[in-house]
Structure 1
Amino acid sequence: MRDTVAYKILTGEQLARLLADGTFAGAPVDLADGYIHMSTADQAQGTLDKHFAGQDDLHIAAVDLTALGDTVKWEVSRGGALFPHIYADLPLSAVIVHGPVERGPDGTLQLPH
């Protein structure tokens, strides 16, 4: 069974746009690739470390994949793992919770709840 919640790491500007517009078309990499890159709970730390190292003002949104229906495709990506990709804009209505990126004492990503 695949995860029903996935995570999107956003810059402060991207989160503000999502909240103001009620939808998010994607980060530059998403727009270039034609889908919104998402990560499962187990993949989010690796995504943060690989693609957002050294960046400040980061936020993470938990997204209900079931609300997005057939726009979600699970595709092979980093290390041969299946990642959820959204082939549509991300509506704010599918965001369960969001918050600033925070790390625990051991440096691990703390997912919003």
Structure 2
Amino acid sequence: MEALIYTMVRQEDWRAAERAGYYAGSADDARDGFLHFSTAAQVRASAAKHRARVADLWLVQADAAALGAALRWEAASGGSRPGLFPHLYGTLPLSAVLSATRLPLRPDGLHEFPANIP
């Protein structure tokens, strides 16, 4: 499995996580019972499908190994997307976060990703 995983977080939620020392997830995460992550190869498609036109996003990169048994690799619900996705059953401690980068919104409604994301 991948060493680095990614989640997209609204700015307000990321600022709250910085104050708390952990990220507890979005309303979608709470509904599904886990924090949604993607690999570098999956995150652009996830952003386009689930976060298009959302202007205040941050791309949070985490060390998968630091999350231990709470991280599980599972198929997307309904099998709608190929491959296994990293799902975190618990909060994301900031000690496992390697970086948080603002994702600017392009005029077409998609996000501009850092060069290291394929």
User: TM-score under structure 1 normalisation?
Assistant: 0.89
Give the Cα–Cα distance (whole angstroms) in 1 for the partners of residues 101 and 7 of structure 2.
11
Query: Once the two structures are superposed, what CA deviation does each residue of 1:38-63 show, in whole Å capped at 9, x if it has no partner?
Result: 00000010111111111111111100
| 1:25 partner letter | A
Tell me the equivalent position of 1:70.
Answer: 69
| 2:81 partner letter | G
Q: Does 1:110 align with 2:109?
A: no
Displacement of 1:80: 2.9
Displacement of 1:79: 1.5
Give the Cα–Cα distance (whole angstroms) in 2 for the partners of residues 111 and 97 of structure 1.
14
Displacement of 1:111: 6.0
Query: Once the two structures are superposed, what CA deviation does each residue of 1:51-87 show, in whole Å capped at 9, x if it has no partner?
Result: 1111111111100010011000000014232000000
> What secondary structure, in the 3-state scheme, does the structure 2 residue paired with 1:110 have?
coil
Tell me the equivalent position of 1:80.
Answer: 82
Gaps of 5+ in 2: none
Tell me the equivalent position of 2:103.
Answer: 101
Displacement of 1:109: 2.3
| 1:81 partner letter | G
Tell me the equivalent position of 2:13.
Answer: 14
* TM superposition outliers: structure 1 runs of 4+ over 6 Å: none
Q: Does 1:91 align with 2:93?
A: yes
User: TM-score under structure 2 normalisation?
Assistant: 0.85
Contact 1:61 1:112 in 2 (8 A): no
Displacement of 1:102: 4.0
Gaps of 5+ in 1: none
Give the Cα–Cα distance (whole angstroms) in 1 for the partners of residues 20 and 56 of structure 2.
19
Give the Cα–Cα distance (whole angstroms) in 1 for the partners of residues 116 and 18 of structure 2.
16
Tell me the equivalent position of 2:4.
Answer: 5
| 1:58 partner letter | L
Count of residue pairs brought into register by the alignment: 110
Q: Structure 1 or 2: larger strand share?
A: 1
> What secondary structure, in the 3-state scheme, does the structure 1 residue paired with 2:13 have?
helix
